[in-house]
Amino acid sequence: MDKCLFAFAFGLLMLGGCSARVVTVPPGPLIRVEGQPVSIRCDVKEYTGPSEQDFEWNMLKDAKGQKTKIISSFDSRYSDQTYSKRVASGDISVVRLQDNEVELKIAEVKLTDAGFYECQTPSTDYVISGNYMAQVQLT
């Protein structure tokens, strides 16, 4: 009986390991023109849990720098104070395109918006596997 239980548990582990969460953003770098709008899409595939996934956007001045919270698809208090006014005014927003896809929108890009934009999806997976964030550079 113990062998059957072990085989069942191993089988579940292997099933969970067959798929891996994949978060993607467009290849970069993306070119910005000051004062113009910018949109950056992000999607997640190969995940478990609810069909509607949550997303968080962060910004880093360099690829490995400190993250600054921009906006979340599920937490209205997520934004760092450096972005909260722009989020409140609608200059920065996140739009859900599908259950597994969102778009970060900046209505009027500023010089200070240059950096690395990170899209992150909080885990709903039964097994931690794959990538839960992706970055793209806005120059």
Write the secondary structure of 33-94 as one string of H (helix), E (strand) and C (coil): CCCCCEEEEEEEECCCCCCCCCCEEEEECCCCCCCEEEEECCCCCCCCHHHHHHHHHCCEEE
**Taking 80 as the threshold, does the pLDDT of residue 111 lie above it?**
yes
* Domain definitions of the chain by residue range: 21-138
Which uninterrupted H or E stretch holds 13?
helix 2-18
Residue 126: pLDDT band by 50, 70, 90 thresholds? confident
At residue 45, φ and ψ (nearest 5 deg) are -130, 165
* CB neighbour class for 2 (10 Å; exposed up to 12, middle 13-18, buried from 19): exposed
Start-to-end CA span in the chain (Å): 61
Proportion of the chain above pLDDT 90, given as a percent: 73
Amino acid identity of residue 119, one-letter, is C
User: Hey, what CATH topology would domain 21-138 get?
Assistant: Immunoglobulin-like (2.60.40)
Give this prediction's pTM.
Answer: 0.82
Mean model confidence pLDDT for the chain: 86
The two three-digit tokens of residue 34, written as one number: 């000051």
pLDDT given at position 9: 36
- For 47-85, write each residue's pLDDT tens digit: 988 999 999 999 999 878 899 999 999 999 999 999 999
**Taking 50 as the threshold, does the pLDDT of residue 102 lie above it?**
yes
